[in-house]
Amino acid sequence: MKLSHSFAKTLRDAPKDETAKSAQYLIRAGYVHKEMAGVYDFLPLGLKTLKNIENIIREELDAIGCEELQMSALQNSEPWQKSGRWADQAVDIWFKTKLASGGELGLAPTHEEPITTLMKTYIKSYKDLPIYAYQFQTKFRNELRAKSGIMRTREFLMKDLYSFCPDEASHNAFYHKVEKAYKRIYERVGLGDCTYQTFASGGIFSKYSHEFQTLLPVGEDTIYYNADKSIVLNEEVVTPEVLDEFDIKKADLSSENAAEVGNIFTLKYKYSEPLGLDYTDKDGQKNTVFMGCYGIGVSRVMGVIAEKFADAKGLVWPEAVAPYKYHLITIGDAAAEIGQNLESAHQDTILYDDRDLRPGEKFADAELMGIPTRIVISDKTLEKGCAEIVSRATGETKLIPIEKVTNLDW
């Protein structure tokens, strides 16, 4: 991809009301555009990054037998009334709207109610279970205050997975598969080392749920942990009763700021019971379906990655999520010719800064944009038969023979 062909240029300044470092860089580097507080557009580089994260999640969920669907944002009130979540007093982040033909609709902040209703069409017998269905869907949440850039927004891309099992044992088996899949996902997107599965509040139906929390100085949450005992707790569960249960004293727990990047939740019959999602078992008996739900805020994860790795010069993307692997800069005509050919041969992996700018500006933009590996070809490097390869994360610089570089193999 030639940078001169892309409309989203780097900007000197971010909007003044944008306080999160990640959001400032994402805007200045041309990844996102702020539509209003808590609402962002994804520009070409940002959309590629988001899709890379989405694809990693999709691969890991498909690998454990999940099926992808896509539900609507517009929501009828009925199923939400049955579950008790339609009233604004019960769920205070609803966006609601009116249908021209009469009646009120909501914009889905989550999808437990509609997917439970949908499954009533498809679940009749134990033979229809288990079902694991997920989607990548825009969620709408009417947050009073939106800050932290794309880490907490009013409109965001979420992966939400729902499981429908005949009983608790089969639910637990799948729940553990999801735990493992989530760990692989965070590893693959580059957050593996700093993301912990925590015990979190389970609500009224389960003792605990689990969250995945990434250590982050500006994170909104606080986690308490003891590395020796492998105990990691969300702040809300650090009560005398829970400390007893885990046989640990509060003084033996360290605390750190963290950002939630996923949650998994045993719902039991919370939605299947009020919405009447039953199945007939082998003996012809009616049973209620045992449910779980599993969320990852995809755009939020992108924001956390940006926030986690950014340095004083700009963004630093892990290779698996970066929009391009290589950021190519050439200096001089001979280098430019090599650069043109290199870009033509690898359009999907190379971002070539072919703009008519001084090298210093291009280097600064490369730091800001955070593509993992910079390739610099100049008369000087060509004299040595080489190109210069620079790691964005470490700054490590190597001279590599030009034949290896043109094959992207070193």
* Contacts with a copy of itself, residue ranges (CB under 8 A): 5-9, 11, 33, 35-37, 39-44, 47, 50, 65, 67-76, 92-93, 95-101, 105, 107, 114, 118-119, 121-123, 128, 131, 133, 138, 140, 142-145, 154-155
Biggest CA pair distance of the chain: 81
Residue that has been written with the tokens 């009130």 in this structure: 77
Pick left, alpha or beta for residue 389 (phi over 0 → left; psi -120 to 50 → alpha; otherwise beta). Answer: beta
DSSP SS3 for 255: strand
Nearer to a copy of itself, 87 or 99 (CB): 99
To the nearest whole angstrom, how small is the minimum distance from the Cβ of residue 155 to a copy of itself?
5
Nearer to a copy of itself, 122 or 410 (CB): 122
170 vs 372: CA distance, rounded Å = 42
Give the residue ranges of DSSP H helices in 128-279.
168-188, 240-245
To the nearest whole angstrom, how small is the minimum distance from the Cβ of residue 282 to a copy of itself?
15
Give the residue ranges of DSSP H helices in 191-296.
240-245
Peptide bond into 114 cis (omega under 30): no
Nearer to a copy of itself, 50 or 238 (CB): 50
Nearer to a copy of itself, 64 or 382 (CB): 64
Nearer to a copy of itself, 143 or 235 (CB): 143
Q: What is the DSSP letter of 402?
A: H
Nearer to a copy of itself, 119 or 338 (CB): 119
Nearer to a copy of itself, 96 or 398 (CB): 96
**Tokens at residue 152, please?**
């907490």
**How many residues appear in the chain?**
410
Beta strands in 235-317 (DSSP E): 254-268, 278-280, 286-288, 290-297
To the nearest whole angstrom, how small is the minimum distance from the Cβ of residue 89 to a copy of itself?
13
To the nearest whole angstrom, how small is the minimum distance from the Cβ of residue 146 to a copy of itself?
8
Nearer to a copy of itself, 76 or 280 (CB): 76
To the nearest whole angstrom, how small is the minimum distance from the Cβ of residue 97 to a copy of itself?
5
216 vs 223: CA distance, rounded Å = 11
The two beta strands, 231-234 and 131-140, are unpaired
To the nearest whole angstrom, how small is the minimum distance from the Cβ of residue 95 to a copy of itself?
5
To the nearest whole angstrom, how small is the minimum distance from the Cβ of residue 96 to a copy of itself?
6
To the nearest whole angstrom, how small is the minimum distance from the Cβ of residue 150 to a copy of itself?
11
**Tokens at residue 367, please?**
């730091």
Count CB neighbours of 159 within 10 A.
22
DSSP SS3 for 18: coil
404 vs 209: CA distance, rounded Å = 50
